[in-house]
Structure 1
Amino acid sequence: MQAGSPQQGARMELASDIADFTRRDLCLLGKTKPVLLTGTTGPAVIVVHEIYGFTPTLARFCRWVRDAGFRVYAPILFGEPDAGNAETPSVTRILSLCISREFTILRANKSSPVTDWLRALARLAHDECDGPGVGAIGMCVTGGFALSMALDPVVLASVLAQPGLPALSPAALDIAPADLARVQERTRHGLEVRGYRFEGDTLCQASRFATLRTAFGAAFAGTELPDSAGNPAGMKARGKPPHSVFTGDLIDGPGQPTRAAVDEVIAFLRQALQRTDSAA
């Protein structure tokens, strides 16, 4: 990937209008959560937001996936069900997640209970859409959720974008050993997993990708982008290394590694969701 000017596309203001999304409040497993949908045809792809909630840059990413021929389901696990959520850290948000029974933030080798609901969403999306299965994309605190979602055979493609949990164990994964073994078995029957991070990211460190490579071997394709590919207006503007590959630290411009990574994910989804066989 050859990068163009680092300023190209760096400071583009994105609108918070999401008139092209439809909100549905879905009750699954006895719990109701808002889901924003865009697209009317094609296989389903579930995009799970970062710690900021649903933001303008996440809406942009969802549109790219939609325009590639997929129907996007974006569940709202926290934050407001619109694109008005700011991409800034919130101590209140972090504390609320730490005490939530749905999220496992600190403990290693444990699956977050909310992934049960996400798998139910995947089954519903599969029933509603064309295609042999569903794609799952998690980001930051939800990055590892895309792995737990692959416990369900309807999920045929998992993308882990800068998976940040467990927060205090940089080499560990946020999935229970028994669940991990089941996903490993699925990779022996064709399931593939992709991961993305910036090389200098302190929230998703290289040791976590090393664990994923050990766990999945050739079934895991991990892309590690140089920090120079990060948006100067993103985390760098706060004096921190870039983190969000597909949202706040992405540069939307020709030749930019982060934008090329989006195209790579879309190609991966097309390959996986156009297969006629399932990775059971």
Structure 2
Amino acid sequence: MSLLAEWTRGHHAADGFEFPVYERGEGPGIIVIHESPGLTPEVIAFGDELVAEGFTVVLPHLFGSSHAPPRTWEAARVVPRLCVTREFTIFATGRTAPLAGWLRSLARRVFANAGGPGVGAIGMCVTGGFALAMMVDPVVVAPVVAQPATPLPIGPARAADVNLSPSDLAVVRDRAAGGCSVLGVRYRHDWITGTRFETLRTQLGDGFISVELDGYGHSTLTDHRHPVAIARVMSFFRERLLTDV
């Protein structure tokens, strides 16, 4: 049986893009944006955990397979496509990924349906910076950046870049100063995250909450999940979205 059997499948179209989305649960909404190589069992299991915590969870399916265990060759097939696709900015600095508008539209839809104080968003790896891009829209009140990996850290400029245009970064900075904190999680020695956490500390100050784990792992919430990361993300969403807690 499919791991998504209990999830409702739909589509969302906006800004010239259309992707499948899976939804499950009740309560305030959280959008979980999967990492490479796709919507894996580990990502779905994390979504199920959020559902059990009392949230409406939406899983966009942006690339790769869905609900199938990743094969050793799948990342080798998916990553080159991400390098040339128009939805992502794998190498460019100072730019917001074109997919940001679609994700903001999805957040508005989720908020309209689920209610609550706003929407949570979590990006992982190649989608890590998307949660920052989404918080340009005020409906996103609980952004989580998990092991952000784009642009690929080839050289110091890319390593420090947070995948935002200057104007979007200014909005993120203002929102953080106004009380919309950003939670970041990574393994301390994960080279692919570059120096982005340092950039976020500089840009957001106390508005950036950093969780840095010992070790050389990568996927903090899925393949290399760490109990500290899971607990901190869960408590962040509860604090920001469950107003009666």
Q: How high is the TM-score relative to the length of structure 1? A: 0.82
Q: What is the CA-CA distance between 1:190 and the residue it aligns to?
A: 1.1
Q: 1:101 aligns with which of 82, 86, 94?
A: 86
Confirm or deny that 1:186 pairs with 2:161: no
Q: What is the CA-CA distance between 1:162 and the residue it aligns to?
A: 0.1
Q: What is the CA-CA distance between 1:191 and the residue it aligns to?
A: 0.5
User: Within 1, Cα distance between the matches of 2:183 and 2:209?
Assistant: 5
Structure (1 or 2) with the greater helix fraction: 2
Structure 1, unaligned runs of 5 or more: 1-14, 228-240, 251-257
Q: What is the CA-CA distance between 1:195 and the residue it aligns to?
A: 0.4
Q: 2:198 aligns with which of 207, 210, 219?
A: 210
Does the residue aligned with 1:164 lie in a helix, a strand or coil? coil
**Structure 2 match to 1:249:** 224
User: Within 2, Cα distance between the matches of 1:17 and 1:210?
Assistant: 37
User: Within 1, Cα distance between the matches of 2:15 and 2:138?
Assistant: 18
Q: What is the CA-CA distance between 1:204 and the residue it aligns to?
A: 1.0
Indicate if the aligned counterparts of 1:98 and 1:105 stay in contact, CA closer than 8 A.
yes
Amino acid at match of 2:223: G
Q: Deviations over 1:194-224 (max 9, x none)?
A: 001111111113x211111001000001111
Q: What is the CA-CA distance between 1:16 and the residue it aligns to?
A: 5.7
User: Within 1, Cα distance between the matches of 2:200 and 2:109?
Assistant: 28
Indicate if the aligned counterparts of 2:200 and 2:208 stay in contact, CA closer than 8 A.
yes
**Structure 2 match to 1:197:** 186
Q: What is the CA-CA distance between 1:101 and the residue it aligns to?
A: 1.1
Q: 2:95 aligns with which of 110, 123, 131?
A: 110
Indicate if the aligned counterparts of 2:11 and 2:18 stay in contact, CA closer than 8 A.
yes
Greater RCO (CA < 8 Å, at least 6 residues apart):
1
User: Within 2, Cα distance between the matches of 1:26 and 1:173?
Assistant: 26
Q: What is the CA-CA distance between 1:87 and the residue it aligns to?
A: 6.0
Q: What is the CA-CA distance between 1:17 and the residue it aligns to?
A: 2.2
**Structure 1 match to 2:67:** 83
Confirm or deny that 1:22 pairs with 2:11: no
User: Within 1, Cα distance between the matches of 2:184 and 2:2?
Assistant: 27
Does the residue aligned with 1:170 lie in a helix, a strand or coil? helix
**Structure 2 match to 1:152:** 137
User: Within 2, Cα distance between the matches of 1:225 and 1:32?
Assistant: 36
Structure 2, unaligned runs of 5 or more: none
User: Within 1, Cα distance between the matches of 2:233 and 2:75?
Assistant: 29
Aligned 1:121-270 pairs, distance under 5 A: 121-167=106-152, 168=154, 169-205=158-194, 207-227=195-215, 241-250=216-225, 258-270=226-238
Indicate if the aligned counterparts of 2:3 and 2:44 stay in contact, CA closer than 8 A.
no
User: Within 1, Cα distance between the matches of 2:178 and 2:160?
Assistant: 26
Q: What is the CA-CA distance between 1:26 and the residue it aligns to?
A: 1.9
Q: What is the CA-CA distance between 1:31 and the residue it aligns to?
A: 2.7
Pairs aligned (count): 239
Does the residue aligned with 2:168 lie in a helix, a strand or coil? helix
Confirm or deny that 1:273 pairs with 2:241: yes
Amino acid at match of 1:109: G
Which sits farther off after the overlay, 104-113 or 87-96? 87-96
Identity within the alignment, %: 41
Indicate if the aligned counterparts of 1:55 and 1:83 stay in contact, CA closer than 8 A.
yes
Question: Aligned-pair RMSD on alpha carbons?
Answer: 1.6
User: Within 2, Cα distance between the matches of 1:147 and 1:30?
Assistant: 21
Q: What is the CA-CA distance between 1:102 and the residue it aligns to?
A: 1.1
Amino acid at match of 1:243: H
Aligned 1:23-62 pairs, distance under 5 A: 23-39=9-25, 41-62=26-47
